Amino acid sequence: YTPPYPPYDPIDKTGFSYETVVKRWPVILTGIIDSVYGINHELSSDIPNASNPSEKAGLEEKYAEGKGLIEKVGKLKYEMGRDRALEPIEDDGETLVDEYNAELARLADDAKNTWFTAPWLYAECYLYRLIRSFFAQTKQWRTYDPFLAQKQSTFKASGTAIYQLATTMHDLEAEKDTLASDPDKLEVLFREMIQMCLWGNATASHLSRDLSLLTHMSPEDIRHLQTVGKDAQQARREFILKDDQTAVWDHIKSLKDARVDFVLDNAGFELYTDFLFADFLVTYTPYISRVVFHPKSIPWFVSDVTPPDFTSTPASLLSPTFFPSPSSTPSPAQAHLHALVTRWQRYLSDGTFALSVPHDTLLGQGGKAVEFWTSPWPYWDMEVRGKEVWEGLRESGLVVFKGDLNYRKLTGDVKWPVDTPFSLALGPLAYAFPLLSLRTNKADVVVGVPQDVADALDAKGEKWRVNGKYALVSFLPRVEE
């Protein structure tokens, strides 16, 4: 499918793409170098103390490979800054090498194959796949995730919000029966839950500054769900520039024992809010009985959920030492979190919750059901280029696409006028299955927003397309052929 507008690329120096290539990617690459360097530094003192020759040889090999990785990433950073051509990805035995390289050759024909000329969406996906190929070609770093430490530390820093939401969910338990018999209350609660899941995608730094964007209802609020909930919603409304919450809820109410799919975005706090929303749907409503989660098979856009991130999340949440605890003695909030996560573990073992990937130990080995998510392709090509994924999602009652990158892929990251209907921007993917995108704005592409609303924000000088303060809730039903 070819859209009627060109893709965002860094040739336009006023766009976020340019800022990304100039400032953000070099920082990410430096972070990778630092993480490998840190481990090599430790290895250099471990090697002399190895307990036997084979252990020593393994450590030495790891050290040498670490040096090679630092060199490769350093060279990449150098070439990026000088607008060199993107090199073909070496055959590392993992997926999509040929697809990435074929597209690269096509871009070379158009003279758009350098860091400052390539389409942003392609170049950024290529970057993470290229980095993966560096690690995949080693022996000792094959399953190493260079972003793991960063993911873990931001997760640990979100303890306050995590405990707060666990307590909210605990207080809700008492209202479960009332909710079942009061559709209006259930709808208010649905809105709280979906918005919590939406704002869970805002950046961690933004969250710690502005927790008010997340739901945190007191027991009193919960008893008066209708009134209090509505006030809080009103306050947040101005930040949701497209709001299809009513249509989504109407759709969900039409389902019975259906499956919901989450195309995940970030690990840690956002994944926690995804679990919360999924839990609400299966525990509190009669409409949904199963949730399937779709991760990325390789380290991706720094913070995205990989299978190991997914599997370790319940254990981290249950660990008494993972978060700096609210007090030294077990607090009620800890008990609330424990009860919640224990339920999720039960859901994971009885199939109520499932991860879409068969493997969870080796990175880069998800098979067809997952590789599409780490391709560079816009989702309008899903039926052709991601047949297995597409067929699987056709059976879903609702597919929830989380976050900014998924939104860029849904819309192809091209320069749609801001008032383009969401359905048009999806191209051939529109109406394939019921689809919900929950996105806080962190990139230029935006559709489904009235021109005058966009103009007013521009006039205020707000960086509303990229600063993560604004959001879009975009829904489309499925239409039967």
Tell which positions 270-329 bind Mg ion, by CB under 5 A: 301, 304
DSSP symbols for 330-348: PPHHHHHHHHHHHHHHHHH
Closer of 25 and 353 to ligand F6P (Cβ): 25
**275 sits in which H/E element:** helix 269-284
Q: Is 313 exposed, middle or buried (0-12, 13-18, 19+ CB in 10 A)?
A: buried
* C-alpha to C-alpha distance for 464 and 442, rounded to whole angstroms: 8
201 touches ligand F6P (CB under 6 A): yes
137 touches ligand F6P (CB under 6 A): no
Q: 9, 175, 265, 309: which one contacts ligand F6P (CB under 6 A)?
A: 265
In the complex, least distance from residue 76 CB atom to ligand F6P, rounded to whole angstroms: 16
376 touches ligand F6P (CB under 6 A): no
**Count of positions on this chain that bind ligand F6P (CB under 6 A):** 14
405 touches ligand F6P (CB under 6 A): yes
Q: 403, 412, 427, 434: which one contacts ligand F6P (CB under 6 A)?
A: 403
* C-alpha to C-alpha distance for 271 and 357, rounded to whole angstroms: 16
Residue 443 interacts with, from Mg ion, ligand F6P, none (CB under 5-8 Å by kind): ligand F6P
Q: 118, 197, 443, 471: which one contacts ligand F6P (CB under 6 A)?
A: 443
Closer of 35 and 303 to ligand F6P (Cβ): 303
20 touches ligand F6P (CB under 6 A): yes
Residue 201 interacts with, from ligand F6P, Mg ion, none (CB under 5-8 Å by kind): ligand F6P
240 touches ligand F6P (CB under 6 A): no
Query: What Cα–Cα distance (Å) separates residue 124 from each residue in 5, 30, 114, 186, 240?
Result: 19, 16, 12, 40, 27
Closer of 271 and 432 to Mg ion (Cβ): 271
**Cβ atoms of 201 and 403 closer than 8 Å:** yes
CA 141 to chain centre: 24
- DSSP symbol at 249: H
In the complex, least distance from residue 324 CB atom to ligand F6P, rounded to whole angstroms: 25
Q: Which residues of 233-258 are buried (b: 16+ CB within 10 A; e: fewer)?
A: beebeebbbbbbbeebbebbeebeeb
* C-alpha to C-alpha distance for 63 and 212, rounded to whole angstroms: 46
301 touches ligand F6P (CB under 6 A): yes
381 touches ligand F6P (CB under 6 A): no
* C-alpha to C-alpha distance for 120 and 442, rounded to whole angstroms: 13
404 touches ligand F6P (CB under 6 A): yes
**Count of positions on this chain that bind Mg ion (CB under 5 A):** 4
413 touches ligand F6P (CB under 6 A): no
In the complex, least distance from residue 223 CB atom to ligand F6P, rounded to whole angstroms: 34
Q: 265, 274, 309, 413: which one contacts Mg ion (CB under 5 A)?
A: 265
Candidates 216-224, 400-408, 417-425, 447-455; binding stretch for ligand F6P (CB under 6 A) = 400-408
Closer of 268 and 427 to Mg ion (Cβ): 268
* C-alpha to C-alpha distance for 422 and 447, rounded to whole angstroms: 6
What is Dmax (Cα atoms) for the chain? 71
Closer of 301 and 422 to ligand F6P (Cβ): 301
In the complex, least distance from residue 196 CB atom to ligand F6P, rounded to whole angstroms: 16
Three-state DSSP state, 114: strand
Closer of 24 and 106 to ligand F6P (Cβ): 24
* C-alpha to C-alpha distance for 21 and 469, rounded to whole angstroms: 22
Please report how many Cα atoms fall inside a 13 Å half-sphere around the Cα of residue 345, on the Cβ side: 13
**Which of 346, 352, 476, 348 is CA-nearest to residue 423?**
476
* C-alpha to C-alpha distance for 140 and 63, rounded to whole angstroms: 9
- Residue 292 β-bridge partners: 261, 354
Closer of 92 and 261 to ligand F6P (Cβ): 261
Contact positions vs ligand F6P (CB under 6 A): 20, 24, 124, 201, 265-266, 301, 303, 403-405, 408, 442-443
Contact positions vs Mg ion (CB under 5 A): 265-266, 301, 304
